[in-house]
């Protein structure tokens, strides 16, 4: 007979277990079923194929001739399925696909991925960057780094770090006005992306809530990392997350003239689908990040 999509596959699994152990009771224990449920599934299979598969005797069952012919084929089929699933899991667990914003990836994450791979040599890493908030059902990404309030239904979320910011610029640009000593001095210079709402938040925290940047030349680079590159080149003052640019400060390419940090209520989070929480590669990356982040401070 030809197998249809309605064929009782669960009954085949029950038959395989019962035939291997020659016991409905032990098959039930293996599969988490009652003996009655095992008997029902075997009877369902027998009715479907039109053959008796077991001889039922008091406290004992044995395979009929039809059952003897069917049992090894079914065992082989399930072995093939189990092998295919195991190989698939092994393959999918060998590559971790991370989605991140370009800034977080280039200014923080990239410097630690080598260490992660040294600690987890069986996991290859593929890094994808964009400013988009990805839909996990439409992408191959395993995990993502997001900024927000940590409220995404269906996703497991882990806090990584605060998303605070402050003005930063090149020492050479600051020198053109004798140094940046007060927030008012920033207004003497070109501001990179004056439409960024971070500026209004920071100036308000600095005691200058009425600052109007609306008339300034518009510029939008699309990612904080690009704004930082423009600031290093002396093209203006950028408002940046200072932890991402500690190397530039140490090398004298950027300065942070004020200790005042502001935030817009959003933070950096590691996220992944709730259904993937038991993935070994995701757990490994989660544990690595959560132990690494405190080393640079939140």
Quote the pLDDT of residue 94.
83
Q: Which two tokens stand for residue 66?
A: 């039809």
Whole-number percent of the chain with pLDDT over 70: 90
Whether 56 and 190 map to the same domain: the answer is no
Is 65:19 a contact under the CB 8 Å cutoff?
A: no
Where does 8-136 have alpha helices with state H? 9-21, 24-31, 35-49, 65-92, 102-104, 110-119
Quote the pLDDT of residue 145.
95
Region 17-34 average pLDDT: 91
Whether 54 and 125 map to the same domain: the answer is no
Whether 248 and 273 map to the same domain: the answer is yes
Q: Residue 49 and residue 1: Cα distance in Å, rounded? A: 7
Whole-number percent of the chain with pLDDT over 90: 59
pLDDT in tens, 272-292: 999 888 889 999 999 999 998
Tell whether 43 is covered by a domain: yes
Whether 186 and 266 map to the same domain: the answer is yes
φ, ψ for residue 60 (rounded to 5)?
-160, 145
Least confidently predicted of 84-88, 118-122, 142-146: 84-88
pLDDT in tens, 35-92: 899 999 999 999 988 899 999 888 889 999 999 999 988 888 887 777 666 655 555 5
Whether 41 and 105 map to the same domain: the answer is no
Quote the pLDDT of residue 1.
46
Q: Residue 209 and residue 196: Cα distance in Å, rounded? A: 15
The model's pTM: 0.66
Is 258:172 a contact under the CB 8 Å cutoff?
A: no
Beta bridge partners of 47: none
Q: Residue 232 and residue 223: Cα distance in Å, rounded? A: 15
Quote the pLDDT of residue 158.
95
pLDDT in tens, 234-269: 999 999 999 999 999 999 999 999 999 999 999 999
Taking 90 as the threshold, does the pLDDT of residue 298 lie above it? no
The more confident residue out of 20 and 1 is: 20
Q: Residue 221 and residue 65: Cα distance in Å, rounded? A: 75
For the domain that residue 102 is a member of, what is the CATH number? Answer: 3.40.190.290
Whether 145 and 119 map to the same domain: the answer is yes
Last residue within a domain, chosen from 67, 92, 117: 92
Quote the pLDDT of residue 296.
47
Q: Residue 154 and residue 148: Cα distance in Å, rounded? A: 15
Whether 19 and 132 map to the same domain: the answer is no
Whether 37 and 181 map to the same domain: the answer is no
Whether 25 and 167 map to the same domain: the answer is no
Quote the pLDDT of residue 131.
85
Whether 198 and 288 map to the same domain: the answer is yes
Mean pLDDT of the chain: 88
Taking 50 as the threshold, does the pLDDT of residue 191 lie above it? yes
Region 126-131 average pLDDT: 90
Instruction: Domain of residue 138: give its range.
Output: 96-298
Is 133:263 a contact under the CB 8 Å cutoff?
A: no
With a CB cutoff of 8 Å and minimum separation 6, the contacts of 143 are 96, 97, 98, 99, 270, 271, 272, 282, 285, 286
Quote the pLDDT of residue 297.
46
Last residue within a domain, chosen from 60, 92, 124: 92
Whether 274 and 133 map to the same domain: the answer is yes
The number of distinct structural domains making up the chain is 2
Last residue within a domain, chosen from 69, 92, 115: 92
Tell whether 277 is covered by a domain: yes
């Amino acid at each position: 007979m030809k197998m249809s999509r309605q064929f009782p596959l669960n009954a085949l699994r029950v038959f395989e277990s019962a035939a291997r152990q020659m016991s409905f009771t032990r098959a039930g224990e293996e599969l988490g079923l009652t003996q009655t449920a095992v008997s029902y599934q075997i009877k369902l299979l027998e009715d479907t194929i039109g053959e008796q598969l077991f001889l039922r005797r008091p406290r004992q069952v044995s395979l009929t001739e039809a059952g003897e012919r069917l049992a090894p084929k079914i065992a082989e089929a399930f072995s093939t399925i189990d092998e295919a699933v195991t190989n698939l899991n092994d393959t999918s667990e060998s590559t971790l696909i991370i989605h991140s914003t370009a800034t977080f990836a280039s200014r923080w994450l990239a410097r630690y991925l080598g260490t992660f791979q040294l600690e987890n040599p069986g996991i290859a890493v593929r890094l994808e960057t964009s400013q988009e908030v990805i839909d996990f059902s439409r992408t191959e990404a395993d995990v993502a780094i997001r900024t927000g309030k940590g409220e995404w239904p269906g996703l497991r979320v882990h806090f990584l770090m605060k998303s605070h910011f402050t003005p930063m610029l090149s020492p050479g640009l600051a020198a053109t006005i004798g140094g940046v000593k007060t927030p008012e001095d920033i207004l003497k210079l070109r501001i990179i992306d004056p439409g960024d709402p971070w500026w209004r938040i920071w100036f308000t925290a600095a005691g200058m809530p009425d600052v109007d940047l609306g008339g300034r030349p518009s510029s939008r680079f699309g990612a904080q990392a690009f704004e930082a590159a423009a600031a290093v080149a002396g093209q203006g003052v950028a408002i940046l997350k200072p932890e991402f640019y500690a190397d530039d400060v140490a090398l004298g390419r950027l300065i942070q003239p004020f200790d005042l940090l502001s935030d817009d209520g959003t933070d950096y989070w590691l996220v992944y689908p709730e259904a993937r929480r038991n993935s070994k590669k995701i757990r490994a990356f989660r544990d690595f990040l959560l132990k690494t982040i405190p080393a640079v401070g939140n």
